[in-house]
Structure 1
Amino acid sequence: MRGIHPPEFQEDFWIPIPLNTNNITAFSPYLVPQDHLGSLGLFYAMSAFMFVLFVAGTAINVLTIACTIQYKKLRSHLNYILVNLAVANLLVSFVGSSTCFYCFAFRYMALGPLGCKIEGFTATLGGMVSLWSLAVIAVERWLVVCKPLGNFSFQSNHALALCALTWVFALGAAVPPLVGWSRYIPEGMQCSCGPDWYTTNNKFNNESFVMFLFCFCFSVPFSVIVFCYSQLLFMVKSVAKTQTESVSTQKAEREVTRMVVIMVLGFLVCYLPYASFALWVVNNRGQRFDLRLATVPSCLSKASTVYNPVIYILLNKQFRSCMMKMLGISGGDDEESSAQSTTEVSKVEPA
């Protein structure tokens, strides 16, 4: 099997089709079910999975935003960044996951080329904002806890400026495929859309765009996250060594270590499969690969709309307490005492 670009659709898609057929339109992901790429059970299972992501991702991120609006004590500089992350996740789950649920149910990109571009742009925009928000959270933790700038005080206006910057960076990654640098086409099993990393079409300069995404939109934020959290971890461990008899200090050291490991692993689970698979395809042109496997990285990136909030928000004592109170669940921390005793470090400290 190999990819063929039919003249009438070459701006809109790429799919592998049998070499012995001339009826290219019969395989168009915009016109017919892509049953040659997988079984009915697989398509319907993916549709069900996307429905779960749509419901869970939309619910948890809407709840995060609602809590911040209702409870003034949540309007701190760190929580502004968490809300920015929630807005990005909501964009992906509400548009991206719902679109994929619909298209997997029909087994092709039933929304047409325009719908593909909208879904691809929205998922890329929200995903990039989410990715850069994780880097901003790491920078905020480093500045507040490690104090590398001395008496510099991280304020809400700094957080808002960094949040705005995440959207600028995200637009820088999401807009180019709409204006000729790469393009948005159906990917994997042809029921979701993303940048074209399949082809070497010189008109769209796809390879250079993939390298841009890998370097600027994956390697840079990942390096920032690793640097900031490693500095935080080293600082906590150095304090723990000087207070070996302090039970609370040793407990804090273990909790921060766990938090750092979870955050870094969460980032890698979200974005490493997508980045590495795209890079492999670009550097192994002509090699055969299963498009069902190409669907996995896309699904993992969309699943981040659920497990990112679990890591960064539900492990936040203030958010967890307010969410439990909003939902009428007893057992949350007392609101007033939590507001009085919460420190900068404990805002992201796991329970």
Structure 2
Amino acid sequence: MRGNRGTELPEDFWIPVALDTNNITSLSPFLVPQDHLGGTGIFYSMAAFMFFIFVVGTAINVLTIACTIQYKKLRSHLNYILVNLAMANLLVSGVGSFTACSSFAVRYFIFGPLGCKIEGFLATLGGMVSLWSLAVVAFERWLVICKPLGNFVFKPDHAIACCAITWVFALIASVPPLVGWSRYIPEGLQCSCGPDWYTTNNKYNNETYVMFLFGFCFAVPFATIVFCYSQLLITLKMAAKAQAESASTQKAEREVTRMVVVMVLGFLVCWMPYASFALWVVNNRGQPFDLRLATIPSCLSKASTVYNPIIYILLNKQFRSCMMTMLGMGGGGDEETSSTSSVTEVSKVGPA
């Protein structure tokens, strides 16, 4: 590791507090416990939380992929996108959450500078695929239910193409820090790695990278989600109004309204803290902030590997039924699909 002698500036990490920088080795998150940033109880609590996310997130997403492989009826265009989401979540939980759990347990990043770059890249890649997959799910629902293209049919080939696009976009977002536009360094309590939000460094152009991520990987997907789901709700309300006497139509409209609210809130819980924190740091250089609080956005994004499957997969009746059958817990394989699928039938009376 460079920058571990005298007052040389470290290339692989950032000194977050004004301590004795004449001995950078004594502060290196790759070499010594970061007890100057928080008590051992905080580190062990975070290790336990990350262990929970790793175990539960890995289990749910592996089960999702296994169910899709075993049950042919799950291989619909929407479910292809949900499997893509599960693969991205699995990458984050299997790499990001496991690495963070191990590092929090010993109170420093034990995998070294190279491990930091690998973990930062893979966790960012998985996170970006997950983020764009949520936007693709919203886009698919808009095309299928609102029918903006008339008789256009969204087929499995289209879903596969959309999944491929999510990985291309994710690579566009996650590769730059490996080639000199920003960098991957320990973040928060220095036990997990991510892009460098913290330093003003003309060599890495961190500020422009942060703004790029905010625009391309937060603002655009969020705008897509809000637009698509708002159009979906308008279509469903018109369908419900046209069938005011139908109790099932009214029930479906209420269910989907709740579902949309939960999906949007889930997206915001996952990504708003991360985006807000990065923008605040970029626009308030030199302002002190608590590294314990800076860890929260990273943990919330990793926790999405649990609550995204709950929202998008476990609340899908067809997926849930197949999972219960696979686990030997009963469940009829002939249950309805999800509420969004049932609403597709309801929306046929709405405007094309």
| Distance in 1, Cα, partners of 2:286 & 2:154 | 50
Q: Out of 342, 345, 350, which is 2:341 matched to?
A: 345
Determine the structure 1 residue equivalent to 2:17.
17
Q: For residues 135-174 of structure 1, what are the structure 2 equivalents within 5 Å?
A: 135-174=135-174
1:249 CA drift (Å): 1.0
Distance in 1 between residues matched to 2:120 and 2:208, nearest whole Å: 18
> Could you tell me which residue of structure 2 aligns to residue 40 of structure 1?
40
Name the CA distance, whole Å, in 1 between partners of 2:179 and 2:85: 26
Contact 1:12 1:185 in 2 (8 A): yes
What is residue 313 of structure 1 aligned with on the other side? 313
Paired with 1:105 and 1:338, the residues of 2 have a C-alpha distance of 44
Deviations 1:114-158 (A, max 9, x none): 110011001100000000000000000000011000000000000
Question: 1:335: which partner in 2?
Answer: 333
Indicate how the Cα distance of structure 1 residues 21 and 186 shifts in structure 2: closer, same or farther if over 3 A, else same.
closer
Match of 1:232 in 2: 232
- Residue 337 and residue 262 in structure 1: after superposition, are their counterparts in 2 closer, same or farther (change >3 A)? closer
CA contact (8 A) 1:316 1:348 kept: no
Figure out how many residues of one structure are paired with residues of the other and give that number: 342
**Distance (whole Å) between structure 1 residues aligned to residue 296 and residue 51 of structure 2:** 16
Note the 1:1-351 alignment, pairs <5 A: 10-19=10-19, 22-330=22-330, 332=331, 334-336=332-334, 338=336, 345-346=341-342
Q: Unaligned 5+ residue runs, structure 2?
A: 346-352
Which moves more between the two structures, 248-257 or 21-30?
21-30
Deviation of the 1:243 alpha carbon:
2.0
Measure how far apart 1:280 and its partner are: 0.4
SS at match of 1:25: helix
One-letter amino acid of the structure 1 residue matched with residue 342 of structure 2 = S
TM-score under structure 1 normalisation? 0.94
In the alignment, the residues of structure 1 paired with residue 83 and residue 57 of structure 2 have an alpha-carbon distance, to the nearest angstrom, of 14
Shift of 1:17: 3.1
Deviation at 1:346, TM superposition (A): 3.0
CA contact (8 A) 2:5 2:23 kept: no
> Conserved in 2, the CA contact under 8 Å of 1:315 and 1:348?
no
SS of match in other structure, 2:16 = strand
For the 8 Å contact 1:317–1:348, the answer to whether it is kept is no
| 1:21 Cα offset (Å) | 5.3
Q: 1:51 to 1:183 in 2, by over 3 A?
A: same
Partner deviation per Cα, 1:273-332 (whole Å, 9 max, x = no partner): 0000000000011111001110000000000000000000001111011001001112x2
In the other structure, the counterpart of 2:349 is: none
Asked if the contact 1:17–1:27 (Cα under 8 Å) also holds between the matched residues in 2, the reply is no
Tell me if structure 1 keeps the 8 A contact 2:256–2:339.
no
2:350 is aligned to none
Structure 1, unaligned runs of 5 or more = none
The TM-score, its normalising length taken from structure 2, stands at 0.94
| Secondary structure in 2 matching 1:15 | coil
Distance in 2 (CA, whole Å) between partners of 1:68 and 1:237 is 32
The code of the aligned residue for 1:27 comes to L
Contact 1:318 1:347 survives alignment (8 Å): no
* RMSD of aligned residue pairs (Cα, Å): 1.9
Aligned-pair identity in percent equals 76
Q: CA deviation at 1:19?
A: 4.4
Helix, strand or coil at the partner of 1:193: strand
Shift of 1:336: 3.9
Q: Secondary structure at the match of 2:22?
A: coil
Query: 1:25 Cα deviation (Å)?
Result: 1.6
Q: 1:10 to 1:328 in 2, by over 3 A?
A: same
Distance 1:220 1:345 in 2: 26
Give SS of 2:329's match: coil
Residue aligned with 1:270, SS: helix
Q: 2: distance between equivalents of 1:80 and 1:233?
A: 23
Q: For residues 181-201 of structure 1, what are the alpha-carbon distances to aligned partners after superposition, in whole Å with 9 as ceiling and x for unaligned?
A: 000000000000000010110
Contact 2:317-2:335 within 8 A present in 1 as well? no
Q: What is the one-letter code of the residue matched to 1:128?
A: M
Q: Matched residue of 2:29: which SS? A: coil
Q: Is the CA contact 1:316–1:347 (under 8 Å) kept in the aligned structure 2?
A: no
Q: Helix, strand or coil for the counterpart of 2:341?
A: coil
Taking a change above 3 Å as real, the CA distance of residues 102 and 348 of structure 1, as seen in their structure-2 partners, is farther
Residue 345 of structure 1 aligns to which amino acid in structure 2? Answer: S
Residues 348 and 41 (structure 1), Cα distance of their counterparts in 2 relative to 1, 3 Å cut: farther
